[in-house]
Amino acid sequence: MRILAEKTEVLAVDVSCTKDELTVVLSDGRAVTVPLAWFPRLLGASPRQRGKWELIGGGIGIHWESIDEDISVASLLQPENFMRLPDKTQGTTRRAPRRRSSPTGFRAARG
């Protein structure tokens, strides 16, 4: 007996923005909220511009015409696969100091 597993795609059904966050309500009832800092165009847009969105591809994404921004539902659900997110460890690693060569141009062997 064969079992066919049907893959159902989660779609956006509603969108809202605050001054700091984007919230997308999905067809399965979940709501995904992410920081607007992930999307500099949205962050820099006026509240009126943020409010003028449209669903694209039947809900696979959201488009803001006035700021030329498109965001897919997939990128909101798995941002690590689609976006370069701020790395909190970035800038905390330090390089080892360079060892200087001897006056002859060769490094002394350590042992």
CATH number at residue 56: 3.30.2020.40
Which of the residue ranges 8-12, 22-26, 61-65 would you say has the lowest mean pLDDT?
8-12
**CB hemisphere CA count around 69 (13 angstroms):** 20
User: Could you give the 3-state DSSP secondary structure of residue 4?
Assistant: coil
Split into its structural domains, the chain has a count of 1
67 within some domain: yes
61-107 confidence digits (pLDDT tens): 999 999 999 999 999 999 887 877 566 554 444 455 555 554 555 45
Write down the pLDDT at residue 28: 96
Residue 42 CA, distance from chain mean position: 12
The residue segments making up the domain with residue 33 are 12-81
Q: Examine residue 53 and state whether it is found in any structural domain, yes or no.
A: yes
pLDDT above 70 coverage of the chain, percent? 68
Quick check: 28 and 14 in contact, CB under 8 A?
no
In a domain, 92, yes or no: no
Mean local confidence (pLDDT), 29-50? 96
pLDDT of residue 93: 47
Taking alpha carbons only, the member of 68, 67, 54 closest to residue 13 is 54
